[in-house]
Structures are given as C-alpha cells and as structure tokens.
Structure 1
Amino acid sequence: MRLFTRKVPKSASAPPDAPPVPLSGFAERNPVTAKHRRRWLGLDIGSSAVKIVELSRQGEAYRVEAFAVEPVPPGSVVAGNISDAGAVGEAIRKACERAGTKPRNVCAGIRDSAVVTKTLEMDASLSDRELEAEVTLEAERQMPFPVDEMAIDFEPMQLSSRDPSRVDVLLVACRLEHVVLRQEAAELGGVRLDIVDVESHAVQRAVAEVAPERQPVAFADIGASTSTLMIVDGESVVAREEQFAVDRLATDALATDAHATEPLLGLLTRLLRLVRLGNPTTPLDRLLLAGGIATTPGLAEGIGGHLKLAVEVADACRDMAVAEHTDAVSLGEHAPMLFTACGLALRGFDAVRT
C-alpha cells in the first residue's frame, strides 16, 4: 500500500517521532507490527455524539472489548465537519473513560461527501516510486483543490480492460483540514489517530460481518442532522446523503402514529431511488437500519412494508464474542449507533494482515 503520508502533517501537539496519519480506504499490509496490534478502536464522530467500539481478534474471530456513546455539544460537529476540536476531544476522552479503555490503535472515519475519488490509468511497468510521482501529478491536474491542501491515498486495482500494459489506479483525496481536525480532536482526547478511513468503506466491512453471502444489501443510517443510504454489493458501494434532522420527527410517536413516520419514509424512498439509478436491475430485498431511532418498536416493520424490503436493525457485533467486563445487553441496545464505528475498528485489522 502506498500512502502520501507527507501530505498529512503532524499537529503541533503530536510527539516529534509520531508518524503522520494516512487517509486510507484500503488494506495496508504491515506484518512487522502485527503482534502489537491485536486491538483496534473505531472512532465515529457524528453531529450529536462520538461513538467508539474497540475490537480484539484471535485468528479470524472478533471480540468486543469496549464501546461507548458520548454526546458532543451542539454545533461542535456540523454535517460531519468538526468546528470545535476541543469539544470533540473532550467527548472522546469521556467516551474512552466510560468504556474503560486506553486505546493504542485508532481508526476514525470521514464522510463520503468530503472525499473525491478518481480512477486513473497508469503504465503497469512503473515502480512504486514512479507510480507515486505520476499519481501526484495527476492529482494536481484533476483534483478540485491544490495538491498541498490535500490528503491523498491511492491503490492499484487491476490491469486495464482496454490495454493490459496499463493498470487502473484508484485515487482518493480530501481536504487536508478534515484529517488534521480529526487528528487534533483525537490528541486532545488523549488518543493517537493511526488511520482515517472513508465511512462507506467502514460500512462495507461491517455489512460483510452480518451478510457474508455478499448479496446486495441496502444500509440506511438516520443521523441527527444527516441521513445516508447506501447499497453495498460485494466490493461496490453506492452512497447518497441528505440533510435530514431527526428532530423533524415526532420520535415519541413513531411507534404509535403512522403519520409520524411519513417524513422518514419519504426520505428513504427518495434516497433509495437515487442510489438505484446507476444499476436499477440489481436485485435488492434487504435493508439494514442504523441510527439512534432504529430500535423504535415497529419502525423497521413499517419501513419494510413501505419499501417492500426486509428491514432489520443493524448490528455488526451480533455474532462477535463480548468481553466479560462489557455489558452485552447495553451493547445490543446501542448497536445501531455503533455500526460505522465497528466497521472502522475492523479496518485496523486489515492494516496488519499478511
């Protein structure tokens, strides 16, 4: 894996020998450090709360070691963008204290709407260093902001279908400030950020835990200010976001008043139509529902009846073991809020597989 880590500078509070944080949606192989990385904490920073999940792995089996949900002050995170790193850092600190963990390895997420992706075609004979230089030049030409303001990552995918002497390379970039603010908030919260991953990639990993048959699955996350709907089909993810505040809903009446769900049903219908435009013939019969309101009695059934899909509450940890000191009942109750954080924790284990 090649990472433009030089594009992500250390913050002022970072130790002198601390490595910069890569923006990555891909697996970084690093067998040398694998023995030191048996636990990973996924950090999901939302508009209403910080969510953390810490996983350990033995062989291919995962165990939930800790989790927590800690509110953030209103306005400190707006549509996934951190506006008050100090407030977010304090929430991270409280979440780790509540969970009883002092994480060594942390992966945070960044919204898809903040990320730009491009597929480039490069000479397949280029060395790693030459490929990095060529991708940098292409990023300067094709990205909508200056290269010195970007955090960049890339991954060679497969040989070009048009010319086997060339290779398709996926380029991922975002504004540097998005990564730096997450790094700053993490450090203020007493943890060091190792990886920043794209949230849809984290969801993709979590979906693979609950749908190993790899059939197309829809995923809806009803957030405090932004709602997202994705279709995960194997290695492919199509996502759409829309500003939609949960406080627009009469949440107390969702379980008893069909009219209270109408704004939500309209939102999901609209987003589902948008994500299916690219491949309207893809068979789809299942939707995972995430977010704080997902466990509302009768809500999943009502959405399923409206969308003509089998809807279930999203729980990426349901088949994982749970540490004795962790409250399994509370974990189940909070599972729909922890889905993305769980996928972010899973990303860390990709980084150490040989």
Structure 2
Amino acid sequence: MAAFGSLFRRQSAPLLGLDVSSSSVKLVELGRDASGKLVLERCAIEPLERGWITDGNVEKFDEVAEAVRRVVRKSGTRTKHAALALPPSAVITKKIILPGGLSEPELEIQVESEANQYIPFSLDEVSLDFCVMGPANNATGDVEVLIAASRKEKVQDRQGLAEAAGLKAMILDVESFASRLAASRLIEQLPGQGQDAVVALFEVGAATTSMQVLRNDELIYERDQAFGGAQLTQLIVRQYGFSAEEAETKKRSGDLPDDYGTGVLKPFVASIAQEIARALQFFFTSTPYNRVDYVLLAGGSASLPGLTSAVTRQTSFACSLINPFEGMEMAGGIREKKVRREAPSYLTSCGLAMRRFQQ
C-alpha cells in the first residue's frame, strides 16, 4: 500500500516537529527527563516570504528548502528524523467500520476497497494510510478505522523539503491532527482535567484562521475562515506606504509609528475578535451546542496585544492564549523569554514533535 510514511504510527527515535506554513517554518524537538516529564530541547522559527507557499502548495521549492535548512541550523539539532504535516485541505479523511481481528494485509485490502468509494482520484495517484481507532461503538466485534489519503505530489513535496535539508520524513501528519494532539495535553490541565469541557481552539495564521471545537478528545466541529495576520500587514502598507516586505519586518520588530497602536492595531484586533465571535455563532447554529467553556488562541497572530480580552468581551466566553510548552522542562539552550513570546506559533510543530511519544 502506498503510505504517507507512517501517518498514524509511533516514532520512538528522536524526532523533529517541522511545521511548514505559508508564513514560516517552525521546528520543535522534545525529549523526556528521568521522571518522564516532557523537555523542550530545541525550537526555532524561520520566516517565509509571501507567495512561497500558497494554500498549502509549495510554489518556490528551492527558497522554502533553504529556509528549512536555515531553521535546522539555527536550532542546532543533530536529529535527522522529522515529522511534517499537510494542511487539512490536502488530505481526505474518512472513518469506516471493518470487522475486528483482521491481519495487517487483510486490513490493507479492505481499506483500499473502501477508499475507492470516497477518494475522487485513482488510487495510483494517492498516498494512502489508515489507523485502527478502536472498537466500533454500535457494532460488536467491529473496529473503527480512519483512512487518510492525499495526492502523491503533495506528499512528495513535503518529503522533498525534508530531504533537501538533510532530513528524513518519517511521519507525514495532518496539521489539524497535530495541533489537536498538542492542545489535548493542555486541555488535560484545565479544571477537572477538561472532562466534558467544550473547547474552541482558534489558530490565527497569516491568511487563514482555523477553528476546531473539541470535547473529550473528540472533534465536534471545524471551520476555516479567510482572515489572519497578513491583513494586518496590508493595513500597515496602506497606512504608511511601506512595501509589503518592509511592513512585515516592521510588524515583527515593532518598529512602527507612534499612532500604529490606536490607528491600525486596535481596530484590527477588534475585527479579529468579531470574526471569532461570528465563527462561534456558526458553530452554535450548526450544532446542538449553545456555548463553549473555553476559547483558546494559537498561531502567529494570536499574541497580538489585547486580542484575548477583546475576544472575551465580544463572545462573553473565557479566552486565553495557548502555550504548547506549558508545564515542560526547558533545556539549557532555550531562551525562555523569547520562547514564551513566540509559543502560540509552535502549536502544530509541538504536536508533530509529540508524535515521538504517542502510543
């Protein structure tokens, strides 16, 4: 069977979580101390120029590959195995029910047969993988199996980026799966270990904000919306006449005119809070739910000043900024102040790195 390269399987050797998004490459490496506690060994971010990756497609392969090489060098890691991810839009997933007790080869035959019904491409054109999730709820003796498939060229692009940086892609995950894995660890730290809590997780990226609503480790709703930090860059360009590259650099460094906070940033933060409130309303009208217990923000634009309080005011739900490294030990070379500032950006890469320890 053409496989992702262990999409769902555990990789026990040292592993880099490598998140290649439209705006940057993020790297995380985790370990465990003698007591079993997670340790942040290394992390690094390398920005990408606009247009190098669009809608998950690598448009400028050589430039992105060089950025991956830079982030590996910057991190100082010697680990050569990596976990990468594709955006959900590039992956077709489907849960199916199969008889229990099948051998691996028998499962592969059944999965390929079922996949033909759900995948609008020839199986020769896709990479396919599956995972037995556990016993089926309503069918004694059967098991629930998750199928995932993506076009081979999309898989090969991610593998090629790893190889160009001297790495081997051992795992190719789905970005939303990886972010959920990292978030689940934090949800367990909520009151009552997060049991029965309805948690809305928003990842505010450059061009897209993804929303996932979780309850007891189950995804109950998801939605992507076309707004993100790139819109703030465009506002800076229009307000001050900078080029797009200058505006992005100044946004990252904070080197902006005195009226930026009140004239540009504050209205933009208010507009993001309104978009998040609107997304929650879509959730309420599309499901039996009429409230959430927690709103968690992640992503490169989630740490904008005043955003969490603006979301709380707009939605009336408790909102907090997510730190995927919360409760971890920090290795000696980690600059804790810098990491805390950038932590929301690392949610997906942290989840990818956690695949090393996933059973």
The two structures have a TM-score, normalised by structure 1, of 0.85
* Structural mapping, 1:193-208, within 5 Å: 193-208=169-184
SS for the counterpart of 2:289 is coil
**TM-superposed deviation, 1:170:** 1.7
- Structure 2 residue aligned with 1:319: 327
**Shift in Å, 1:84:** 2.2
Give the Cα–Cα distance (whole angstroms) in 2 for the partners of residues 50 and 76 of structure 1: 11
Residue 157 (structure 1) aligned with residue 128 (structure 2): no
Report how far residue 294 of structure 1 moved.
2.2
> Within 2, Cα distance between the matches of 1:335 and 1:178?
28
What is the correspondence of 1:243-322 to structure 2 with a 5 Å cutoff? 243-249=226-232, 250=235, 256=262, 258-277=266-285, 279-281=287-289, 283-322=291-330
8 Å Cα contact 1:183-1:193 kept in structure 2? yes
Distance in 1 of aligned mates of 2:327 and 2:111 = 40
Aligned 8 A contact 2:3 2:129 in 1:
no
Secondary structure at the counterpart of residue 288 of structure 2: coil
Number of residue pairs aligned between Structure 1 and Structure 2 = 326
- Within a 5 Å distance, the mapping from 1:12-23 to structure 2 comes to 21-22=5-6
Q: Report the counterpart of residue 82 of structure 1 in structure 2.
A: 58
**Identity %, equivalent residues:** 31
Distance 1:167 1:278, change over 3 A: farther
SS at match of 2:72: helix
In 2: Cα distance, 1:254 partner to 1:173 partner: 45
SS of residue in 1 equivalent to 2:31: strand
Deviation at 1:181, TM superposition (A): 0.4
After the TM superposition, which residues 161-172 of structure 1 pair with which residues of structure 2 at under 5 Å, given as runs? 161-172=137-148
- Matching of residue 210 in structure 1 with residue 186 in structure 2: yes
Higher helix share: 2
SS at match of 2:71: helix
User: How many Å apart are 1:209 and its aligned residue?
Assistant: 2.3
Q: For each residue in 1:47-101, what CA deviation from the matched residue of structure 2 results, as whole angstroms up to 9, or x when unmatched?
A: 1111111111235311111111101232111122222222111111101111111
Q: What are the superposed Cα offsets for residues 199-237 of structure 1, whole Å, 9 maximum, x if unpaired?
A: 222112211222211332211111111111111222212
How far off its partner does 1:125 sit? 4.1
CA shift at 1:255, angstroms?
5.1
Confirm or deny: 8 A CA contact 2:97 2:136 kept in the other structure: yes
Which letter does structure 1 place at the counterpart of 2:298?
Answer: A
Looking at structure 2, the residues matched to 197 and 254 of structure 1 have their Cα atoms a distance apart, in angstroms, of 39
Structure 1's unaligned 5+ residue stretches are: 9-20
1:138-157 to structure 2, matched below 5 A, reads 138-157=114-133
Q: What is the CA distance between 1:298 and its match in structure 2?
A: 1.6
What TM-score results when the alignment is normalised by the length of structure 2? 0.83
1:241 matched to 2:248? The reply is no
Instruction: Give yes or no for contact 2:10–2:356 (8 Å, CA) kept in 1.
Output: no
Q: What residue in structure 1 maps to residue 340 of structure 2?
A: 332
Closer, same or farther: CA 309–108 of 1 in aligned 2, 3 Å: same
CA shift at 1:247, angstroms?
3.2
C-alpha distance in structure 2 between counterparts of 1:174 and 1:279, whole Å: 29
Contact residue 43 and residue 344 of structure 1 kept, 8 A: yes
Aligned to 1:70, which of 35, 46, 53? 46
Contact 1:40–1:349 (8 Å) recurs in 2 = no
CA RMSD of aligned residues (A): 2.2
Q: Give the aligned partner of residue 187 of structure 1.
A: 163
Name the SS for the 2:44 alignment partner.
Answer: strand
Corresponding residue SS for 1:194? strand
Equivalents in 1 of 2:44, 2:21: separation in Å?
A: 13
Given the superposition, is the C-alpha separation of residues 180 and 329 from structure 1 closer, same or farther in structure 2, using an over 3 Å criterion? same
CA contact (8 A) 1:223 1:246 kept: yes
1:16 maps to: none
Stretches of structure 2 that go unaligned for 5 or more consecutive residues are 237-255
